[in-house]
Structure 1
Amino acid sequence: MKKIAISIGDINGVGLEIALKAHEEVSRLCHPVYCVDEKLLIEGAKLLNVKLPKELICRSVDLDINIEPSKVTRESGTYSYLSFLEAVKLCERGECDAVVTLPVHKEAWMKAGLKYKGHTDMLRDYFKRDAIMMLGCEKLYVPLFTEHIPLREVPSHIKKEKLTRFLLDLHKSIGGKRVAVLGLNPHAGDNGAIGDEEREIEQAIAQANGEIGDELFFGPVVPDVAFAPYFRDTVQYICAMYHDQGLAPLKALYFQESINVSLNLPIVRTSVDHGTAFDIAYKNKADTLSYINAVKAAIELSK
């Protein structure tokens, strides 16, 4: 079985609970290696009033810390980052086959003085590669052209050269799949009546298809119809121009089962498609489906 490095996420959120609850099922799929100190697993199990699973394989993180349920702290931000870094290094060294990440808290990372807004930012910097964030499930995947940037900055990023590179990198990562590329503006610009960013998108699609030698990308597709049943039944991949354009409808449709996948990297990394859920932390309410799906995807992608 594959060895999967598990980055524990923010210990004050639901990550540790999910890891403990799902351990038995995950252990039937792979050999999980938890990047967390065993004493924190013991502490978490006591808070949850559950038995600690036997034969857990852990890799210690060099930071002395205690769990503070639902609190945003500098220490928990630092710990979640160090856990993630250890998981990445395990894959780099060939000791594990893939990384699965549990959720971190962006404010905690900010308090810890980290310059990254999340896992994908860190991976992009660490490997000096244009990592692609893609979320979804087998029914629908949504790669994001821009991610965690202010909405007002999105139009300035939509340039032919940059989008063409993105589409070609996406093609290399997912193979010969057809991809609907969304427009930015309402009605996909209405031929320039409501904005002209779609001209750049059209040109990028044409150039990417030309270099591939096949009409795999199409659009710009009108965003407000792309997620309607009659359209999404015809395509598995919908490329969004910005975060909420793609993820708001995706999560409305498939929130519990969706995962996050980092593409265009030398390692395999998948993640849950939800946050730290401080409102239910250590209340035995966390759902494990996204995590299980992320583990399954990591195993499949690392074959």
Structure 2
Amino acid sequence: MKTIAVSCGDINGIGLEILLKAHPLIASKVNLIYCVHFELLEQASELLQIPLPSDLTPSQCYAPSSPPPPILAGQITQESGRYSFESFILGCKLCENHQAQMLCTLPIHKQAWNLAGIPYLGHTQALSDRYKTEAIMMLGCEKMFVALFSDHIPLSKVSSLIQSKRIYDFLMRLYHLFPQEKYCILGVNPHCGDGGIIGEEDQEIQKAISQANQALQKCIFYGPYPSDCAFIPSKRKEFRVWVAMYHDVGLAPLKALYFDESINVSLGLPILRSSVDHGVAFDIAYQGKAQIESYLNAISFLK
């Protein structure tokens, strides 16, 4: 069986609830190393009134270097931010040392990381810096995956990145990392610019698509398609993977359709990492309401 390291995420959110609920469903299928103090799982079990699984033992827990902070349900704290980052880095090290083959991350809170002095906007940026290569952020499920040409940057900076060489390089990397028969490439302006009347960025996208197809000697990349009609039912029958030029234009339809199912995957790194595609859900933390389907899919993608 594969060994998967699981970082605990922000302990004030729903991460530990998901971990405890899902453990009985996956423990017989993969070897799990939880990057968390066992006593935190015991506390979460008590708070949630969820029995601690009998086969979940201290030997499966590798503790971060910091002492466990108190669980403060739904609160943004420096301590929980620091602890979630150390749990994540421990998971990376376990993969690097070949104690685990893959890493699954539970949700962190970006503001808590900021309070703790962590200089990253999230897991993907931290992974790209650690491994000195730009990870491709891809989210989705079996029915639909969306790869992001740009992810956690201000919208005001997107246009300057829309250059044919950059997009060509991205498309070729994506094809080799996640090969498909065809990809739907989204435009960036309304109506894909209407031939330059509403912006010229889409012409750069078209040039990159043509160059990539020429390099592959077959038509793999299609578009650019206007984003407002790229996810209509007929397109969802035709395509399985979309490429969005920026974050929300691709993820809004994905989450509207498959919020509970979708996962987050980092492509192009020395380690394989997947994650749930949702946040810490502080509003329902320790109320027993957390759904586990995204986490189960993230584990399934890895194994």
Q: TM-score, normalised by structure 1?
A: 0.97
Structure 1 residue runs of 4 or more that deviate by more than 4 Å after TM superposition? none
What is the RMSD of the two structures over their aligned residues, measured on CA atoms?
0.9
Measure the CA separation in 2 of the matches of 1:26 and 1:69.
26
SS at structure 2 position matched to 1:28: coil
Q: How far apart, CA to CA, are the structure 2 residues paired with 1:95 and 1:212? A: 37
Q: What is aligned with 2:203?
A: 199
The one-letter code matched in structure 2 to 1:40 is L
After TM superposition, give the deviation of residue 263 of structure 1 in Å.
Answer: 0.5
Which ranges in structure 2 are unaligned for 5 or more consecutive residues?
none
Aligned match for 1:106, one of 102, 110, 113 = 110
Residue type of the alignment partner of 2:36: V
Looking at structure 2, the residues matched to 105 and 44 of structure 1 have their Cα atoms a distance apart, in angstroms, of 18
Change (3 A) 1:177 1:91: farther
CA distance in 2, matches of 1:75, 1:212: 49
**What is the distance in 2 between the residues matched to 1:157 and 1:106?**
24
Is 1:71 matched with 2:82? no
Task: Classify the secondary structure of the residue corresponding to 1:17.
Answer: helix
Q: For 1:244 and 1:25, locate their aligned partners in 2 and report how far apart those are by CA, in whole Å.
A: 32
Deviation at 1:199, TM superposition (A): 1.1
2:189 counterpart of 1:185: yes
The DSSP-based 3-state class of the residue aligned with 1:29 is: coil
The CA deviation at 1:175 is 1.7
1:30 aligns with 2:33: no
How far does the alpha carbon of each residue in 1:68-101 deviate from its partner, in whole angstroms, 9 at most, with x for none? 1101011111111110111111111111111111
CA contact (8 A) 1:29 1:296 kept: no
CA distance in 2, matches of 1:142, 1:29: 28
Among 138, 146, 149, which residue is 2:150 paired with? 146
Cα distance, 1:204 vs structure 2? 1.1
TM-score by length of 2: 0.97
Q: Deviations over 1:13-53 (max 9, x none)?
A: 00000000110001122111100000111111111112111
Q: Which runs of 5+ in 1 are unaligned?
A: none
Deviation for aligned residue 1:164: 1.1
After superposing the two structures, state which structure 1 stretch, 95-104 or 176-185, moved more: 176-185
1:30-179 aligned at under 5 Å gives the runs: 30-56=30-56, 57-64=60-67, 65-179=69-183
Instruction: Deviation per CA, 1:240-259: give whole Å up to 9, x if none.
Output: 01110000110000000001
Partner of 1:260: 264
For 2:62, the aligned partner's letter is R
CA contact (8 A) 1:171 1:177 kept: no
Report the identity percentage.
Answer: 50
Supply the distance in 2 between the matched residues of 1:78 and 1:163 (Cα, whole angstroms): 35
1:98 maps to a residue whose letter is M
* Distance apart, 1:222 and its partner CA: 1.1
Paired with 1:156 and 1:264, the residues of 2 have a C-alpha distance of: 23
Out of 226, 231, 234, the position equivalent to 1:227 is 231
Aligned length: 299
Worse overlay, 175-184 or 119-128? 175-184
The SS at the match of 1:232 is helix
Pairwise CA distance, 1:55: 3.4
Distance (Å, rounded) in 1 between the aligned partners of 2:144 and 2:193:
25
Aligned-partner residue type, residue 279 of structure 1: D
Please report how far the alpha carbon of residue 62 of structure 1 lies from its aligned counterpart in structure 2 after TM superposition. 1.2
**Structure 1 range deviating more: 204-213 or 10-19:** 204-213
Looking at structure 2, the residues matched to 211 and 35 of structure 1 have their Cα atoms a distance apart, in angstroms, of 43
Confirm or deny that 1:248 pairs with 2:237: no
CA contact (8 A) 1:20 1:52 kept: yes
Equivalent residue for 1:279?
A: 283
Q: Distance in 2 between matches of 1:142 and 1:176?
A: 13
Q: What is the distance in 1 between the residues matched to 2:216 and 2:131?
A: 25
**CA gap 1:7/1:283 in 2 versus in 1, 3 angstroms:** same
